[in-house]
Structure 1
Amino acid sequence: MTNTRLIFPMLLLSTFFTPGAGAEEKGAELSVMTFNCWYQFTKVNGGITKAVASIKEAGADVIGLQECSVETADKLAAELGFHRAKSGSGGAQIVSRHPILETFDVGGIDPARAVAAKIHMDGKPGHDFILFNIHLDAGHYGPYAARPTGSTSEQVMAEERKSQRTRQITGILESMATHLAQSDATPVFLTGDFNSPSHLDRVEKTTSSHPGITSMPWPATVLPFQAGLVDSFRLLHPDPVETPGTTWSTIHKEGEPQDRIDYIFHKGKGIRPITSRVFAGKAGKTIGEWGCDISPVVDNPWPSDHAAVVTVYRFGPK
């Protein structure tokens, strides 16, 4: 005899637990990393081995590398089983877990300082994206000009104009313009060491952590913002006091201005960042301001003088 007392509950279970019933399918995820290699990871003993371990720990799918080289990027790609963007000829390199469809040079900047690639998310039809990776000029560093007591915003901006950063980011954005205009179809990412604070970070309420001039329209971040690019870290962590996101520096501390100068920007209707974090593995020894003796840090577990940034994006309806 059929037990009707069991049939009805089972029907209810099949209604509520049918795969996909009433649930929106989760979109594909992409983990983007920007990572300054500190002279090809040569300043720390076993640097490349430590870098490979750090990238694996971070779970990165695609990495924009600065202060790298073709040889170093090839070693990383081989160890990780990744692809390398072949047009990268200097310190700016891209390595990716996903297949690289096309690589191209970036105008407006020394080719050694920028590289771009079109990448396909393996196994995800229609999920292509463009990644630009850059390393802006470090000269006439803004926080040094802003630090002295009595500095004025005019003096700081005059020093900023002596650097190549504004010219470089302007040229880069011009190279990106066509891709940005089509970013709702093919999302665009911009990673890099910008060697500049953000206009979203150095504001009046962060004066205590940034002595001297605070609120400044730093061109290296203002211009991408005006071009429609979104700073992924600050989007998810809008309070610079609560979450400063400092990336410079992991080793230079006493006497050195501490700022967020490494970024992951994005543009495109089909993507949204779901997590973003500063990543620097295990803590190591620290030293004084930039230019001091670095010998105390040569055995640090983290192979860079910058922290990396890792943002995880989710692809969704376009």
Structure 2
Amino acid sequence: MKGEHSPRKDGRGDDVIQLLKLPEFQEAIRNSEQNPLIVCGDFNCPSHLDWKEDTKHLHGDWIVEWPATYLLESKAGLIDSFRQVNPSPIQTPGITWSTVHQASGYEWDYSIPEPLDRIDFIMYKTPKYKPVKSFTYFGTEPIQQMPNHQNNDYPSDHFSVITDFVLNNLQRRA
């Protein structure tokens, strides 16, 4: 958890705490009924929705309340679009990392298998839109592992997360 809450206050959980304190972000949360709020990108940490009791056998018997996604959900009311559409981390893990690394870096002499996890997210807050499809994308060609990853037909060492939203049928009161 050192990468989530560091002594220097620059961990991933710390970053979300700072985001939640920003007046502009607080205003975006308050106005999300009129103006959809979407927070997305590479969070560099897994989701608390994926490290639960029923999946702990996949994660060294650990249950972890990863703070970045947990805080965005619990404090800001954001919804993980991928897990909204694909609720089971066992049936649809949604792995986005690592796509090209098979083992840890040189500091470990490439001796530890690289963890596979979902660390890229599209989180949203709005009653106006509903996610209907969410998936990971990694191009159409077979994946090339390191050191041949530059030949992949997608430009990242992460898989992309794509979510299709539809306009929600809101009933208006007269």
What range describes the TM-score normalised by the shorter chain of this pair?
0.7 to 0.9
Runs of 4 or more consecutive aligned structure 1 residues displaced over 4 Å after TM superposition: none
Query: Which residue number in structure 2 is paired with residue 110 of structure 1?
Result: none
More RCO (CA 8 Å, sep 6+):
2
Structure 1 unaligned spans of 5+? 1-156, 287-293
Query: What letter matches 1:270 in structure 2?
Result: K
Provide, for residues 217-258 of structure 1, a one-character-per-residue CA deviation record: whole Å limited to 9, x for no partner: 111111000110000000111110000000001112350010
Query: What letter matches 2:150 in structure 1?
Result: V
Indicate if the aligned counterparts of 1:190 and 1:264 stay in contact, CA closer than 8 A. yes
Query: Which residue number in structure 2 is paired with residue 252 of structure 1?
Result: 101
Give the distance between the partners of 1:209 and 1:285, measured in 2 at CA: 25
Indicate if the aligned counterparts of 1:284 and 1:302 stay in contact, CA closer than 8 A. no
Query: Which residue number in structure 2 is paired with residue 277 of structure 1?
Result: 135
Give the distance between the partners of 2:50 and 2:128, measured in 1 at CA: 27
Distance change >3 Å, CA 269–CA 159, structure 1 → 2: closer
Query: What letter matches 1:277 in structure 2?
Result: F
Tell me the matched-pair count.
154
Q: In the TM superposition, what is the alpha-carbon distance from 1:308 to its structure 2 partner?
A: 0.5
Q: Determine if the alignment matches structure 1 residue 200 to structure 2 residue 49.
A: yes
Provide, for residues 77-125 of structure 1, a one-character-per-residue CA deviation record: whole Å limited to 9, x for no partner: xxxxxxxxxxxxxxxxxxxxxxxxxxxxxxxxxxxxxxxxxxxxxxxxx
Q: How does 1:77-226 map to 2 (within 5 A)?
A: 157-158=1-2, 160-162=4-6, 164-175=11-22, 176-210=25-59, 212-226=60-74
Percent of aligned pairs sharing the same letter: 38
Q: Higher helix fraction: Structure 1 or Structure 2?
A: 1
Query: Which residue number in structure 1 is paired with residue 161 of structure 2?
Result: 309
Q: Higher strand fraction: Structure 1 or Structure 2?
A: 1
Query: Which residue number in structure 2 is paired with residue 21 of structure 1?
Result: none
Please identify, of 166-175 and 183-192, the stretch whose mean Cα deviation from structure 2 is larger: 166-175
Give the distance between the partners of 1:182 and 1:204, measured in 2 at CA: 35
Distance change >3 Å, CA 216–CA 233, structure 1 → 2: same
Q: In the TM superposition, what is the alpha-carbon distance from 1:158 to its structure 2 partner?
A: 4.6
Structure number with greater Rg is 1
Give the distance between the partners of 1:209 and 1:216, measured in 2 at CA: 12
Give me the TM-score of the superposition, normalised by structure 1: 0.46
Indicate if the aligned counterparts of 1:247 and 1:261 stay in contact, CA closer than 8 A. yes
Q: Counterpart of 1:253 in 2: which secondary structure?
A: coil
Give the distance between the partners of 1:183 and 1:159, measured in 2 at CA: 30
